Structure 1
Amino acid sequence: MNYPILYSLQRCPYAIRARLSLLLADQTVLLRNVKLQNKPAEMLAVSPKGTVPVLYFLQEDRVIDQSLAIMYWALTTNDPNNLLRTGEPETSNEMSQLIEQHDNVFIPQLEQYRATARYHDKKEADARQICEGFVAALEGKLTHSAFLMGNAPSLADYALLPFMRQFSKVDRKWFLQAPYPKFQQWLVTHYNNPLYAKVMRPYPEWLVERENVIFNSES
């Protein structure tokens, strides 16, 4: 059987959420782990923008190279846990708005926070405080339910998780004493899920080994 090819990078948050959705949708792909300093010509040929994730359907000569689009493709194909909240239009709309705010507003704020921390900028605390507006809103949601859209995970949880992981690691000492206990527990709950270990499993660089890895929920 001809599986789609996924070009991925282990710790890239966009690639992480793509891999999460593929496992959650029981979609099998051939995973090619890459390094952005050594991008495969095969990847650039199908997606010249040169970033991951890239999902390539060889038989159809079709490419999906946006992480959220990969998530929607996977779960529209198969969504056994109703992560898209099909049949719940109000919840689905709220979820879409939350993800849009996260992607368009929070992620740039997070990048600024990470940059100030990386270069020991005096404005690190200010950049973090800007990020905290969104994190505090999530804390409020999680005060009322175990997950962002209720007591069961949704697309929103998995779309946000990789970036919230990044936020928590910028200043680990500060984060562990920050006033976000529900948010911290939410992260721990995901980390303790065996699915997370599968998603974060390291693979050799594809350009070195030239071996496709069959990546699915059973691997």
Structure 2
Amino acid sequence: MSEKHLQTGDVLPPYNGKIRLYAMRFCPYAERAVLVLNAKKLEYDLIFINLDHKPEWIFNFSPRGTVPALEYEQGKAIFDSNIVTTYLDEKYPENPLQASDPLRRAQDKIIVENFAAAQSAYYTAAFNPQALEPSSVEKFHKGLEAFQAELEGRGTKFLHGDEPGWVDYTIWPFLERFEALPLLGKSEFAIDKTKYELLANYIEAMKNVPAVKAYYLSAETHAKFTESRNKGDANYNMLDTSAVCCMRPRKKKE
């Protein structure tokens, strides 16, 4: 799989019959869809999009030009991370990722909704630090505390149970990125393992889940991309090695 992000003027690759996901490698919302595809063990193609210089054809699949967008049949697509992930879970019922109980499904969605304040604080800290206020830090930690309380209350390894489910894969992409904040000079957003022991254990467990491990990026990598974006030149292709030419070093003349 190439990590190259296609941009304005680039040609849409030919459709080969697989479901196709349009994403951006560093987008947490797109990662939600990738994790569900991985967890469902579905075959799919992944096309990365440069969101600053979007290829013209992305609007055929996502009217706002946002990702993720899922091309489920040639030329037919749906978009929005929650819509895409619930569609995939319902379309392919093997290995269900949502709770069977309607009340538990509703409670899972409430957890995701309540976690949005922590996500918003992350975006401010990472990409708009001049607008950062003490209330942002407070909202961030309240979100972590509430999440840890849910883990404690459910008493299971993951929120879904012994294995991660839709609720875990929906929230995880942000937890993955939260670890980059101290590297960006935002030590007040550090996840203190003494205060968040249960959450810290959960984070390490999620890193070892196959669906996550196959797509996981380190805190250092997320910090590097964030810095490039904040400088006004987001390095979308920092992971792409497809254009690297491997040449043997020339021997020095004696």
1:204 shift after superposition: 4.3
Corresponding residue SS for 2:158: coil
Corresponding residue SS for 2:99: coil
Structure in which a larger fraction of residues adopt helix: 1
Q: Does 1:66 align with 2:80?
A: yes
Corresponding residue SS for 1:30: strand
Cα distance in 1 for partners of 2:173, 2:32 equals: 6
If the length of structure 1 is used for normalisation, what is the TM-score? 0.79
2:119 is aligned, of 99, 107, 110, to 107
1:19 shift after superposition: 0.3
Cα distance in 2 for partners of 1:18, 1:109 equals: 22
Q: Which one has more relative contact order, counting CA pairs under 8 Å at least 6 apart?
A: 1
2:141 maps to amino acid: E
For the Cα contact (< 8 Å) 2:124–2:132, is it kept in 1? no
1:141 shift after superposition: 2.0
- Change beyond 3 A, Cα 1:176–1:90: closer
Q: Does 1:166 align with 2:174?
A: no
Identity between Structure 1 and Structure 2 (%): 21
- For this pair of structures, how many residues does the alignment match? 201
Corresponding residue SS for 1:31: strand
For the Cα contact (< 8 Å) 2:207–2:216, is it kept in 1? no
Structure 1 gap ranges (5+) = 209-219
Bigger shift: 63-72 or 75-84?
A: 75-84
1:83 is aligned, of 73, 97, 105, to 97
2:114 maps to amino acid: Q
Q: Does 1:30 align with 2:45?
A: yes
CA RMSD of aligned residues (A): 2.7
Cα distance in 2 for partners of 1:195, 1:149 equals: 15
Structure 2 gap ranges (5+) = 1-15, 218-237, 244-254
Partner of 2:208: 192
Deviations 1:178-200 (A, max 9, x none): 51111111111111223223224
Q: Does 1:95 align with 2:108?
A: yes
2:90 maps to amino acid: T
1:205 shift after superposition: 9.6
For the Cα contact (< 8 Å) 1:33–1:203, is it kept in 2? no
For the Cα contact (< 8 Å) 2:22–2:47, is it kept in 1? yes
